[in-house]
Chain A
Amino acid sequence: MRPLLNVRNLHVDFPGGREQVVKGISFTLQRGECLALIGESGCGKSVTLRTMVGLPGAGAVVRAEALEFDGVDTRRFSPAQWLDVRGGRIGFVLQDALLSLDPLRTVGEEIAEPLRLHKSLTREQRSARVIELLRSVGVPEPELRAAQYPAQLSGGLRQRALIASAIACQPELLIADEPTTALDALVQSQVLDLLVSLRNGNTAMLIVSHDLAVAARLADRVAVMQAGNIVEMGPTREILRNPQHPYTKSLLAAAATVHAHVSVRHSSVSVPNSRVEIATHGVTKSFTGVDGKRRIAVEPSSITLYAGHTLGIVGGSGSGKSTLTRIILGLEKADSGEVQFQGRPWLSLSSAERRTVRRRVQPVFQDPLDSFDPRYTVEAVLGEALAVAGYRRGRTRRERALELLRLVRLDETHLYRRPIELSGGQRQRVAIARALAAEPAVLICDEPVSALDVSVQAQILDLLTELKRKLNLACLFISHDLGVIRRMSDDIIVFHQGRIVEVGDAEKIFCSPKHPYTQALLAAIPDMEWCTAAA
């Protein structure tokens, strides 16, 4: 049978760039088949995907022996033919849902657009189909959501809306760049189910993922990319069970460390003896939605965080876990309740009083790049935090900055760079160094590794574990990745719809969850061999 996609010896380079991005890769894709490209950021996965839809990027030079979609050389497509193919025969899901939805159009309009362009439907049929699509990708209240703008939706909902618009015209080929990265386990599982059913319905799929578990669930074949080459390709099971290439082995090993079954976390500190760093009592928060209804973001919740301990917070997107951390950081006002820091009131302080204590509670955000002033060098970033801790401009401050960089395994060469010139992992290290520069007692990590490559994730998690132990930090750790949570946390809180549904020892919750929501969450993890090894 003629393959739907036939790529032979594809080269893509950007003249003036340092080196070729894609260096001669070949693969084919049949109808109803799913091929996953895996590899670290910068290995050429995304450029390969973009080349398939004729959008390799400005100034790119594409060479190939064959680059065919359904037997036709795509390089011969006229712009008009591409318009017909994109969104019609090929659906494309970009990674960044925030940037790829038009902020000025409602989600419904966005999804209706490909239908309007490629299908002749009446207006009523179109809106019915939009609702149906939103429902099929697991968007609750589709009628309400279709009328909202992207900015009013959470990241997970936006990602799902994007997928809905890509599959609106039942494309023959669906191309997706990290389709489930931003989603929590339950929604991820729902979206994966949807993609699997599409695949079974004879849609071919080319996906990029750094999550091996996702690739395992979805892909028939896996191609491992490294520095622009496919180093290994074969049936998913074979590659994941019996990798041949050393690079594939290292990727699998890194993933295994992140999701280590035997956790290395348990600290020697026993709970009752250590100091309470943060305690919240009955904190609540609600927001007014677009429809004028009050939505409760956080119901009365009380948590306790001990020195040297890590408290993991688990929950779906929009479950209120971020809101609670923002309240603890003093970035958001609570409607009621109190937060205590080291036994003293914290929320009820005036902002001037709180300012003097603020540096003792430091955040590490998901997107390190956005957390730095774009004009600042690493030296300036660290200098600002060190100034807060009482270091005056001069030699000692510079030496302390270097010391911090070494602590997070960076060196002097990084001091004079801007964060934008660093890799994702290096940026997160700088962010951690900045948090430590302020000499905090509490670290609040909101999805600190979810934007990073698997191997880098493992390094950052190791670093956090080590620093936590060395400095006896209390750590509030939020992640939608249950493997990461399990590895890092001593205790776990499960959040669901603004409410704490389960609290307890991490290992106990993972092996015998009590609340139905926790049970569903754990069951939804793509790789389900959780308790076997630990038990």
Chain B
Amino acid sequence: MSDLLSLSRPLPGLPKIGQLRSHLRGINPGLLVAGAYLTFLAVATIAPGLLASADPLATDAHHLFSPPSANHWFGTDENGRDVWSRVIHAARPSLLLGGAAALATAATGALLGLAAGLSPRLLGNVLMRLTDMLQSFPEILLVLVIISFWGANNATLLVALGLAGVPRVVRQVRAQVVTLQRALFIEAAITLGLPRWLIILRHVLPNAIKPVLVLFPLDIGWKITAVATLSFLGLGASPPAPDWGAMLAIDRDYVLNGWWLTAIAAGAITGTVLSVNALGRALIRRNEGHR
């Protein structure tokens, strides 16, 4: 990845990159690095074979714990598997599960929030108190409870991770909906004689989910951490499959044999979450400039 970092810095003397530089001036360099890293991850998710030719599951008893080299960029692990390949192949499950769970959270939360904001006071209150109950569980505890009931598979993980964080979104959306209903442009739509469902669909919902959309990348970051945490605890992907959290959990037993194993797995998680957060924060900042 270090070669990628240096590429994101424009090389002097090349006119095209010079133009690029003037185009990118004003963008904070950290954001640029984050963008490059995420682009790289996107490639790893879509076509891991392009970046890593070695089989992430192929063991090699002759080369256990070999340090990073030209053959094995990130070295090999306790079974002689190529770590570069494993790190690349682990991107897809992490990102897909993280992204899907964040999407599930946003969608469920938005629908419930809309319902709570629009329904009569009594029903809305009932919905909000149920949300409070859900919120009173620490999110990761909630996830653990669900997984221990239904077992660790992708569907359960998705439901569990999706449910965690829903209360927050419900509150956000409901607050927006309540304020929006008194907004002047909603009243303008009422006086035009538009039916209520159309006003909700056209004006209330799209404006109410704006803050949720802005916070969406931050939530992906949280979900990816959660996926890694669960794998670390042995509740995520099953052992031979490449997974950042699982790699971290197993490799910490071999810190003395190969310190780079844990460092690389941890680095992959940290880098991903940092990059997604940087992007999310940039979005928030951009949004704050506007109404």
Contacts and interface: CB of A to CB of B under 8 A. Distances in A.
Contacts of A367: 184
Nearest to A388: B192
Contacts of B66: none
Contacts of B291: 374, 420
B5 interface: no
A370 B193 contact: no
A388 to B, nearest CB: 5
Contacts of A373: 185, 189, 202-203, 207
Contact of A384 (B189, B190, B195, B206): B189
Nearest to A367: B184
Given A355-B195, A420-B291, A371 B190 contact: no
B194 interface: yes
A363 interface: yes
A361 B190 CA distance: 11
Contacts of A385: 192
B188 interface: yes
A331 interface: yes
Interface string A353-369: 01111110111010100
A92 to B, nearest CB: 23
Nearest to A360: B193
A477 interface: no
Contacts of A370: 183-185
Contacts of B188: 363, 365, 371-372, 434
Contact of B191 (A356, A361, A374, A420): A361
Contacts of B184: 365, 367, 370-371
A62 interface: no
A127 B187 CA distance: 40
Interface string B41-52: 000000000000
Interface in B200-229: 202-203, 206-207
A56 interface: no
A358 B191 contact: yes
A375 interface: yes
Interface in A303-358: 329-331, 354-358
Contacts of A187: none
A374 B207 contact: yes
A277 B103 CA distance: 51
Contact of A358 (B193, B202, B206, B207): B193
Given A365-B184, A370-B183, A375 B190 contact: no
A438 interface: yes
A477 B104 CA distance: 49
A388 B193 contact: yes
Contacts, number: 61
Interface string A426-450: 0000000010001000000000000
Interface in A375-433: 375, 384-385, 388, 420
B193 A331 contact: no
B192 A359 contact: yes
B207 A362 contact: no
Nearest to A420: B291
B195 A331 contact: no
A388 B199 CA distance: 13
B212 to A, nearest CB: 15
Contacts of A358: 190-193
B206 A375 contact: yes
A372 B185 contact: yes
Given A331-B187, A365-B184, A356 B207 contact: no
A357 B191 CA distance: 9
A354 B190 CA distance: 11
Contacts of A356: 193
A476 B131 CA distance: 46
Contacts of B183: 370
Nearest to B204: A373
Interface in A279-314: none
Nearest to A352: B195
Contacts of A362: 191-192
B191 A330 contact: yes
A355 B207 contact: no
A373 B291 CA distance: 11
A65 B195 CA distance: 61
Given A371-B184, A374-B207, A363 B195 contact: no
Interface string B87-112: 00000000000000000000000000
A420 B185 CA distance: 14
A504 to B, nearest CB: 29
A394 B193 CA distance: 21
Contacts of A361: 191
Interface string B152-190: 000000000000000000000000000000011101111
A329 B207 contact: no
Given A367-B184, A370-B185, A371-B185, A359 B203 contact: no
A329 B290 CA distance: 31
A355 B193 contact: yes
Contact of A363 (B191, B193, B206): B191
A375 B193 contact: no
A262 B207 CA distance: 46
Contacts of A420: 290-291
B289 to A, nearest CB: 10
A365 B187 CA distance: 10
Contact of B207 (A330, A354, A375, A388): A375
B213 to A, nearest CB: 12
B193 A357 contact: yes
Interface string B251-291: 00000000000000000000000000000000000000011
A370 B187 CA distance: 10
A354, A362, A374: residue with the most chain B Cβ atoms closer than 10 Å: A374
7 interchain residue pairs of minimum CB distance? A358-B193, A370-B184, A371-B184, A355-B193, A371-B188, A388-B192, A373-B185
Given A373-B189, A375-B206, A438-B192, 9 more contacts: A331-B187, A358-B191, A362-B191, A365-B184, A370-B185, A373-B202, A373-B207, A374-B291, A434-B188
22 contacts: A329-B191, A330-B191, A355-B194, A355-B195, A356-B193, A358-B191, A359-B191, A359-B192, A361-B191, A362-B191, A363-B188, A365-B184, A367-B184, A371-B187, A372-B185, A372-B188, A373-B203, A373-B207, A374-B291, A384-B202, A388-B194, A438-B193
Interface of A: 329-331, 354-359, 361-363, 365, 367, 370-375, 384-385, 388, 420, 434, 438
Interface of B: 183-185, 187-195, 202-203, 206-207, 290-291
